[in-house]
Homo-oligomer: A and B are copies of this chain.
Amino acid sequence: MSAPIQGKPAVVLLSGGMDSATAAAIAKAEGFSLFGLTVDYGQRNRWELEAASRLAQFLQMQEHRIIRLELGGLLVSALTGHVPVPKDRRPTEIGQGIPVTYVPARNTILLALALGYAEVVGAADIFLGVHALDYSGYPDCRPEFLQAFEHLANLATKAAVEGQLRFRIHAPLLGCTKAEIIRRGVALGLDYRLSCSCYDPTPDGLPCGRCDACVLRRRGFQQAGLEDPLPYQTPLL
């Protein structure tokens, strides 16, 4: 990607998946200087953290922090390995109800950490990669949640109360389908080979191709008329 612009700082929540990578690429294209934050909360998919580091480098982030949150089984979810990951569901089934990959209060926790980091580096802008498909299922991906968090952020912090920063939560993919996200990322030069979306990869880090994240990603590439650069072990149903 093009050389970094030393613009206003923005904190980007970077999971290693394709959505947050695309949100980061958009923030960069808007001229922000990126401070990436990845939270290692014991995700079953350890390759996500490596993907986040690769993406941070590719996106020429000013800084990339990985912080470890040892939940010790506090939060129960398919993403932290306490519940089996569903496989081979069709895209139409995936959007029904709140998924088992829901992690209690996840985005509240991630945004709270991003807010602390943002205050320290003097960033008023926080980006995250939630999108239309997410908010059909996850309560903490809905626009009303993001607005409530922005309101909270401006009450919670010294920098806001003293008038130095007015925090803004950016979810540039909120109205986008997976295919639209992919098209935007590709247009911005993002290399999706670096991102890892799978909930349950092989021990070598290969995507399973069958979990909800893989199914939605593959279908997204198909609908965008583009080829997913990741190698999959199974055909798309």
Question: Which B residues lie within 8 Å of A149 (CB)?
Answer: 152
Partner of A144, one of B75, B106, B111, B155: B155
Question: Which B residues lie within 8 Å of A156 (CB)?
Answer: 105, 107-108, 139-140, 145, 148
Tell me the bound Cα distance from A71 to B68 in angstroms: 7
Closest Cβ–Cβ distance, residue A180 to chain B (whole Å): 25
Tell me the bound Cα distance from A160 to B148 in angstroms: 15
> What bracket does the count of chain A residues touching chain B fall in?
35 or more
Tell me the bound Cα distance from A102 to B156 in angstroms: 11
- Residue A1 CB within 8 A of the other chain: no
- Interface contact A74-B120, CB-CB below 8 Å: yes
Partner of A71, one of B67, B71, B140, B153: B67
The copy count of this chain in the complex is 2
- Residue A70 CB within 8 A of the other chain: yes
Interface residues of A in 117-157 (CB under 8 A from B): 117, 119-120, 139-140, 142, 144-145, 148-149, 151-153, 155-157
Partner of A72, one of B67, B140, B145, B157: B67
Tell me the bound Cα distance from A98 to B161 in angstroms: 10
Partner of A112, one of B112, B145, B155: B112
- Residue A109 CB within 8 A of the other chain: yes
- Interface contact B72-A69, CB-CB below 8 Å: no
Closest Cβ–Cβ distance, residue A68 to chain B (whole Å): 4
Closest Cβ–Cβ distance, residue A140 to chain B (whole Å): 5
